[in-house]
Amino acid sequence: GVWGIVTWRVSIDTQHEVEELFDANLAQSARVLLGLIKHEMEDDEDDEDDEDEEKEQRIEIEEHLFGHRYEQKLAFLVRTREGRIFIRSATAPLFPEPSRDFTPFSDYRIDEYLWRVFTLKSGQFFVQTGERYDIRDELITEIMSSTLSVLLMALPFLALLIWISVGRSFKPLQQVAIEIAARTPEQLQPLDSNKIPLEIKVLVNALNKLFTRLTQAFENERRFTADAAHELRTPLAGLKTQAQVAQRATTPQQRQQALQQILIGVDRATHLVAQLLTLARMDATQTMPTARVDMHELVSQIIIDLTPQALDKTIDLGLEKTATCCVTQANQDALYLMLRNLVDNAIRYTPAGGQVTVSLDNPQPSRLTLTINDTGPGIPPEQREHIFERFYRGENQNIHGSGLGLSIAQKVAQLHDVEIQLNDVPNGRGLCVRVDFLLGLKERR
């Protein structure tokens, strides 16, 4: 298909150029012939007084062994303005007389041949030079034959060159494929891209990025397995102990108390597993879809959901809103999880009868600030850099929890390009948690 298109295009271009060349030659020949005629007439003007000798002058060129095969296909004819043939080559057919509005180049079918004729008018003469079209066809055929023969002869060498070039180009890719195939599932170190050609370096870099993501995913999986095994060991041991106590109970009251402890232990284990699974999903997530989120509605829902927990400790849980715009672009489910963990953590560490206040404010037209102030013990500055680590519980070990809530909140904050700031409550005792959000509808990727 490609060779056919190339051949067709070459033939079209060749035909066009040949016709341009031959047409220019016809025009030049006519002008040269006209100049010769005028020169001869000026020389013979004084010698030709006999006007009765008005007969056709015909140039007869005898053919001989050294003639060219194209001579019979070239011709010229000169007429006077009255239509009398003044001079004519031996090979010239009788070209039609030019009309009043003639065009310089014309095509005529004379006998069985098609002629290309150029007509030039000057003074009292019409000069016509012509050639048969088969001259052009023969030349085009010869040019095409020569060109195609060279291409056909070069085709095997070209194919061999392409085969060698492609083979050498794909050799580094084959080496990469062999190296990857020889690896075990644990071997995820990046490939060496220093000696890789530029053409496939993009592919190798993409593979290296994939290996990095896989390494991180496997590391997250191993961490999750280790964390789950470590953290579930204690509650499961406690459940086993309480079950044994229930078995050895001698009174219904002892048995009921042991079963109640089992239910509490199951709730803690369930909460721990849910937190571990949530954190594992967060670790595997690099980006998440976002949409418009009304922070006032979201925080209000969190306050409603956690009110029973606050009432159990007679904690005053409230919401203060001074912000005029509370709409941001975020993932609502993830943001709910982050803010719920932050408020839940404040309730857990605030003593009974204390206060937890969530505030929404616009310190700048383009920002929304959420603060959570509690009246708990606070966090010493030297511990704040560790508070978001997994299973870190701080100094107060009497508070029940998995130690994962703030780690989950930190992961959600990182996915939303925001920062959780921990400060002391101004003019009071407790912890102030602050998160700044950008307002607007520009979607995060």
% of the chain residues with pLDDT over 90: 12
State the pLDDT at residue 60: 43
Q: Flag the least confident range among 57-61, 219-223, 366-370, 437-441.
A: 57-61
Query: Which whole number is the average pLDDT over 329-355?
Result: 88
Which among 360, 392, 362, 378 is positioned nearest to 422, based on CA atoms?
A: 378
Question: Regarding predicted confidence, which is higher, 47 or 424?
Answer: 424
Q: Flag the least confident range among 4-18, 40-54, 220-234.
A: 40-54
Task: Quickly list DSSP for 232-284.
Answer: HHHHHHHHHHHHHHHHH-SSHHHHHHHHHHHHHHHHHHHHHHHHHHHHHHHHT
State the pLDDT at residue 64: 44
End-to-end CA distance of the chain: 45
Domain boundaries, the chain: 2-43+55-143, 198-282, 288-438
* Tens digit of each residue's pLDDT (9 = 90 or more) over 375-392: 988 888 888 777 777 666
State the pLDDT at residue 234: 61
Find tokens 């909460």 and name the residue: 271
* Tens digit of each residue's pLDDT (9 = 90 or more) over 216-263: 778 877 776 776 676 667 678 778 888 888 888 889 888 898 888 888
Query: Which whole number is the average pLDDT over 38-44?
Result: 69
* pLDDT category of residue 300 using cuts at 50, 70 and 90: very high
Contact at 8 Å (CB) between 242 and 261? Answer: yes
For residues 359 and 320, what is the distance between their CA atoms, to the nearest angstrom?
Answer: 5
Given a cut of 50, is residue 62 above it in pLDDT?
no
Given a cut of 80, is residue 273 above it in pLDDT?
no
Given a cut of 90, is residue 298 above it in pLDDT?
yes
For residues 407 and 227, what is the distance between their CA atoms, to the nearest angstrom?
Answer: 13
CATH topology of domain 288-438: Heat Shock Protein 90 (3.30.565)
Q: Which residues pair with 96 in a beta bridge?
A: none
Q: Flag the least confident range among 4-18, 267-281, 389-403.
A: 389-403
% of the chain residues with pLDDT over 70: 82
Contact at 8 Å (CB) between 265 and 423? Answer: no
Given a cut of 90, is residue 418 above it in pLDDT?
no
For residues 253 and 303, what is the distance between their CA atoms, to the nearest angstrom?
Answer: 37
* Tens digit of each residue's pLDDT (9 = 90 or more) over 14-27: 788 888 888 888 88
Given a cut of 50, is residue 340 above it in pLDDT?
yes
* pLDDT category of residue 44 using cuts at 50, 70 and 90: low
For residues 410 and 420, what is the distance between their CA atoms, to the nearest angstrom?
Answer: 7
Given a cut of 90, is residue 357 above it in pLDDT?
yes
* Tens digit of each residue's pLDDT (9 = 90 or more) over 79-106: 888 888 888 887 788 888 888 788 899 9
* pLDDT category of residue 356 using cuts at 50, 70 and 90: very high
For residues 221 and 357, what is the distance between their CA atoms, to the nearest angstrom?
Answer: 37
CATH topology of domain 198-282: Helix Hairpins (1.10.287)
State the pLDDT at residue 214: 85
State the pLDDT at residue 400: 52
Query: Which whole number is the average pLDDT over 412-419?
Result: 85
* Tens digit of each residue's pLDDT (9 = 90 or more) over 145-186: 887 788 778 888 888 888 888 777 777 778 878 888 888 877
Q: Is the pTM of this model over 0.85?
A: no
Contact at 8 Å (CB) between 405 and 345? Answer: yes
* Tens digit of each residue's pLDDT (9 = 90 or more) over 133-148: 888 888 888 888 887 7
- Per CATH, the number for 2-43+55-143 is 3.30.450
State the pLDDT at residue 192: 80
